[in-house]
């Protein structure tokens, strides 16, 4: 490697260590200070490295397409808001919020994309036997994911299970997906289009006075999948002309993409429990033999359906979601009382439940798939 390439790798390693330190000691670096450090890094590396000019004639078209897709991203979120409802933003647009949030985030996004462009065009090939690895590309990817993680540091309490899962799903997995797309676009169409796309899809929540009240895991899924949609759009327009393919190839692509998206939508609908069916991991042994600990159940949401003795239901039992079998049903003064019992328990559950405590009726059991969730929960117990 050339001396300049070695210097660039050293710079990336230093930046990587700084980001790790900033994540583990979040109170030391405010968002404003972090943005200034990134800006200085971007300016410094721009003076040191040679000027990179991407001569693709498709840059302007790519920018227009990305702006349209960014607006579609926000528009679809707000369309979902008409189903789930809206919330007022915690930090409405003001001079204070501009300097506290909008300006630092804008600087972070611009600086990180300048760094991405400089890093990705370094010839830092490392050979391991027959493998050729571009070390700079790998380091760039890790650095950009860590920058995204730093942006959200302080929003989530990582010692809390729900916040940890939210941060893992919305921030980390979303960042992994987004940065794969940004690296792909940067080397082909420059970083300016990416900057505008990121500004639109990030800052809308600080500018528009209301935001969709969407279940966080649905947002996580949306943030992970949308970059794939953007990639498919660019792949079809610029890389593989869809009309140059045979009819069978187009049909295979259509069905493959449709099945993938439908499968992901189905999973997130079940996990969110916001629709007609939901999924729940079993964490106790009270139904062992019928439903074991570590299994998952799919339930139909209760909406005044007829419930018979012997059916397994999901209900609220002293503040805990419980899955037990209906053992007896009694009507007292027009109020239906449901007495329940776990198949592995010797005695009935204490007392009874009424219709307002019932969440759903169990329809299907999935063996063993809940163990990863139980393992994560055990770390926080």
State the residue range of the domain holding 294.
277-380
Which residues are bridge partners to 286 per DSSP? Answer: none
Tokens 């462009």 locate to: 117
Q: Among residues 191, 217, 239, which one ends one of the domains?
A: 239
Per-residue pLDDT, 244: 46
Note whether residue 250 is domain-resident.
Answer: no
**Which tokens go with 123?**
């010839």
Note whether residue 178 is domain-resident.
Answer: yes
Question: For the segment 198-216, what is each residue's pLDDT rounded down to a tens digit?
Answer: 999 999 988 999 988 887 6
Q: pLDDT-derived band of residue 243, with 50, 70 and 90 as boundaries?
A: very low
Instruction: Output the domain CATH number for residue 311.
Output: 2.10.109.10
Domain count, the chain: 2
Per-residue pLDDT, 356: 92
Note whether 220 and 302 are same-domain residues: no
Mean pLDDT of the 360-381 span: 78
More confident residue, 53 or 160: 53
Number of C-alpha atoms within 13 angstroms, CB side, residue 183? Answer: 19
Rounded Cα–Cα distance for residues 115 and 48 (Å): 12
- Please tell me the pTM assigned to this model: 0.69
Q: pLDDT-derived band of residue 24, with 50, 70 and 90 as boundaries?
A: confident
CA angle 264, 268, 269 (to 5 degrees): 115
Q: Among residues 239, 266, 290, which one ends one of the domains?
A: 239
Note whether 234 and 305 are same-domain residues: no
């Amino acid at each position: 490697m050339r001396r300049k390439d070695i210097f660039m790798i050293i710079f990336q390693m230093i930046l990587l260590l700084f980001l790790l330190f900033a994540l583990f000691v979040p109170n030391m670096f405010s968002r404003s200070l972090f943005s200034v450090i990134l800006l200085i890094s971007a300016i410094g590396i721009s003076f040191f490295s040679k000027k990179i000019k991407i001569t693709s004639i498709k840059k302007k078209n790519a920018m227009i397409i990305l702006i349209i897709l960014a607006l579609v991203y926000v528009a679809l979120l707000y369309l979902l808001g008409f189903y789930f409802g809206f919330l007022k933003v915690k930090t409405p647009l003001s001079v204070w919020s501009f300097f506290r949030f909008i300006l630092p985030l804008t600087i972070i996004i611009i600086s990180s994309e300048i760094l991405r462009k400089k890093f990705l065009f370094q010839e830092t090939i490392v050979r391991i036997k027959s493998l050729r690895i571009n070390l700079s590309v790998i380091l760039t990817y890790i650095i950009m994911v860590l920058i995204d993680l730093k942006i959200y540091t302080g929003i989530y309490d990582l010692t809390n299970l729900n916040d940890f899962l939210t941060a893992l799903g919305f921030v980390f997995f979303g960042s992994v997906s987004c940065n794969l797309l940004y690296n792909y676009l940067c080397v082909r169409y420059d970083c300016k289009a990416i900057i505008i796309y990121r500004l639109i899809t990030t800052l809308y929540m600080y500018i528009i006075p209301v935001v969709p009240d969407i279940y966080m895991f649905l947002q996580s899924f949306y943030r992970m999948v949308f970059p794939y949609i953007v990639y498919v759009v660019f792949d079809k327009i610029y890389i593989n002309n869809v009309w140059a393919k045979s009819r069978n190839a187009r049909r295979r692509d259509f069905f493959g993409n449709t099945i993938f998206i439908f499968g992901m939508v189905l999973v997130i609908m079940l996990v969110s429990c916001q629709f007609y069916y939901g999924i729940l991991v079993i964490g106790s042994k009270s139904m062992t033999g019928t439903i074991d600990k570590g299994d998952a159940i799919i339930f139909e949401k209760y909406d005044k359906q007829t419930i018979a003795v012997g059916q397994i239901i999901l209900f609220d039992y002293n503040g805990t979601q419980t899955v037990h079998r209906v053992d007896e049903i009694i009507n007292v003064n027009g109020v239906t009382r449901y007495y329940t019992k776990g198949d592995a328990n010797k005695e009935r559950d204490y007392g009874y439940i009424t219709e307002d405590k019932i969440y759903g009726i169990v329809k299907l059991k999935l063996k063993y798939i809940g163990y990863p969730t139980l393992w994560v929960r055990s770390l926080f117990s």
